[in-house]
Amino acid sequence: MQYWMIKTEPGDYTWEAFVEDGVTMWDGVRNYQARNNLRAMKKGDTVLFYRSVKKPAVMGIARVVREAYPDPTTDDPRWVAVDLKTVQALRQPVPLRAIKENPALADLPLLRQPRLSVMPLTEAQFREIVKMGGL
């Protein structure tokens, strides 16, 4: 199993909407590195949901339920989507400020490539963030 982080802006899609939907198609990614990360996701992989821009924080945990398939929001075959299912909200969101202050997360892709919308995590990074979130 691999670990990932996905980023979204609250104006595009919120954690609360994701919880209400239960399962969502993660589409519209138009960055090659993020697209390659989507392609690498496997059914059962664990994903952290990160809310960017306004009060940036990790909000909860999701799981990949459908591996990469052609993104239906474009006719361009280079782009893919995956389906994600909510698993659990963190007891408390983990703000970006706390992530930046944690030495165990110094190499987190979110801090090195803040514009990347889909990024891999190590198991240690995943566990540290989840622990910070009260789980």
Quote the pTM value: 0.96
Signed CA dihedral, 3, 34, 67, 87: sign only: positive
CATH number at residue 78: 3.10.590.10
Measured distance CA(54)–CA(9) in Å, rounded: 8
Look at the chain and report how many structural domains it folds into: 1
Count of other CB atoms within 10 angstroms of residue 124: 12
Please give the pLDDT value at position 78: 96
Please give the pLDDT value at position 11: 83
Range of the domain at 19: 3-132
Predicted confidence (pLDDT) at residue 10 exceeds the cutoff of 80: no
